[in-house]
Structure 1
């Protein structure tokens, strides 16, 4: 399978190197010192699952330099998506099936602004990897998973072909019939963890050992779930009502006196005779 990977960082570099080691024709699009190192010595992946190095020269500087591919994998940071989509739309790869392994739920919408919507597969990946130094990607742990799927029937053969390629490369991969749900589930997971690590001001490994980390993480994820959902998903339940004012009174005003003063039914300025006042306890 001929695969062009735009972005040779932790995600694109790792999965691309594994696919190349399995005999697939992989071309990376990279830049700067990383580009020069891969062009000179190949891309080295250091992993608990075994190190692998690609052949030197398997990299180009621009999307326009890629001669052709059966699949394009987009693995750049989310803020570069618009620029990459514009380059792909103006290149020989226009119309080629595209799979984004980026985080976020709007990535494919951005790509569809410059590429045919029926050329886009949906997907997500699960891995901890980063550029350790130019030309070297470090894989932490053993998790290395891709989930993808075709939103249009004509892309199903491409999804099956990629699944076969991943199997040959030793990559844990799955074709999903509801890939947008997978993308949203990962988004909720990341929002919960980022909120938790921000709250404790520690990396994820340290934050996980903080007092009561799991309840805090569940609360963060639950809050995000209430703020957004994939199209067609049922709406979340309404917040608890403890009073006519529609507030979650126990959580917001734990003091009975404070609740009474804030409730429009029991406060001096309250004028709603049919309302139920905030409970005193």
Structure 2
């Protein structure tokens, strides 16, 4: 029987809201941390999920504007562009012995969190999912899978195993991986081409992978080269196969943000990729061009 946990979710949006609802639905205690209006909505109505994998359900959650008590884990699921401001909702003194689990895009955020919280309790995670908050407390989960990899090179393994079991009890796939660098770059190597191309051309993945196939293949090769230079394995053919398996209407979160006029995680994804390439002397001309074009467009 899975131990019931108390989990805080900073950022109950597409990803955080889905995980909050799934955990609550399985009997775990969930505290969502958000601004006043969102917190009030969640307290009153919970979180409704519409999902091809989990069905449609509404799960009750607690909600507050700030963490005020120790928890077993705090999942950080805000956009990178909002990270600094959002972290004020999680005072280090309130965490107790909690794991801090960032589920952010990019590869540079773990250092930020380890500077603020106990380094040996920061456990970076990556998630493979398409999930969108269409209104406060309403989540549309579009992908037929929800897969999480938990890492943390200095985190006690039993703590990671316990959290993976709690997440796995929801029906999501959760596992502990040994190599944090490999986990973060595996996500980056998939996400960067997807995000940059769908946002640059304003088209869903199905169109991008056919109309702009050469650019997609070049981006995959470039990100794989940077990943290897950073000490992580890379498999370009597997990445391309995953793109081809995705629903054709899939959009990246960066593309959705661009369509909605929200700030983009361009620096956390494209910028971080360029910085890593520069540090290791890896040429990435297609990546550099696309990032430059997006920046020139005002992003």
TM-score (norm 1): 0.74
Residues in 1 aligned to 2:39 and 2:228: alpha-carbon distance in whole angstroms? 38
- The Cα RMSD (Å) is 2.5
Q: Does the alignment pair 1:3 with 2:4? A: no
User: Would you say the 8 A contact 1:122–1:180 is kept in 2?
Assistant: no
Matches for 1:1-281 after TM superposition, within 5 Å: 1-49=5-53, 50-55=55-60, 58-63=62-67, 65=68, 67-93=69-95, 95-152=97-154, 154-210=155-211, 213-227=212-226, 231-232=230-231
Q: Is the 8 A contact 2:185 2:227 kept in 1?
A: no
Equivalent residues, number: 233
Change (3 A) 1:230 1:126: farther
Segments of 5+ residues of structure 2 without an aligned counterpart are 234-276, 284-299
Indicate conservation of the 8 Å contact 1:94/1:115, yes or no.
no
Give the drift of 1:202: 1.4
Bigger radius of gyration: 1
Q: Secondary structure at the match of 1:141?
A: coil
Measured against aligned partners, the alpha-carbon deviations of 1:123-164 in whole angstroms (never above 9, x if no partner) come to 100111111122201101212111112312x52111111121
Shift of 1:53: 1.4
The alpha-carbon deviation at position 120 of structure 1 amounts to: 0.6
Shift of 1:222: 2.0
- Indicate how the Cα distance of structure 1 residues 89 and 112 shifts in structure 2: closer, same or farther if over 3 A, else same: farther
Q: Which has the higher helix share?
A: 2
TM-score scaled by length of structure 2: 0.70
Change in Cα spacing, 1:182 to 1:214, as seen in structure 2 (3 Å) is: farther
Does the 8 Å contact 1:81/1:110 carry over to 2?
no
For structure 1, the 5+ residue unaligned runs are 240-281
Q: Which moved more, 1:190-199 or 1:83-92?
A: 83-92
